[in-house]
Amino acid sequence: MHHPIDEFAVFAQDDKGPMWRAAAPGLEEAKRLAQQLADEEGIEFFVFSFRRASEVARFLPNLKRGRDVKRD
C-alpha cells in the first residue's frame, strides 16, 4: 500500500548553512515555492528529494523583483 508523503523538502541556504523551510509532495510545487521564497527573502534556496537522497534544484533571488538594477 502506498502512503502519501512529502517527497521533497525546501531549504534556505545562507552563511549559517541549510535550514528546512517546507515540504511538498511534488517537484513542481517544491520548485515554485523555493523560487517564491528566494525572491521574497533575498537568499538562495534548494529543493531536496528524499527518494533520491540528493539536491534536485537550486534557486537564486530574482534581482529584478523589488529592486532596480542599474548598470553603468
37-60 tens-digit pLDDT: 999 999 999 999 999 999 999 999
Say how many C-beta atoms besides its own lie within 10 A of residue 41's C-beta.
13
pLDDT at 4: 55
pLDDT at 6: 79
CB 36 within 8 A of CB 24: no
Phi then psi for residue 34, to 5 deg, are -60, -45
Q: Which three cell numbers stand for residue 28?
A: 513542481
Whether 68 shows a pLDDT value over 70: the answer reads: no
In the predicted model, what is the mean pLDDT of residues 24-39?
97
pLDDT at 67: 47
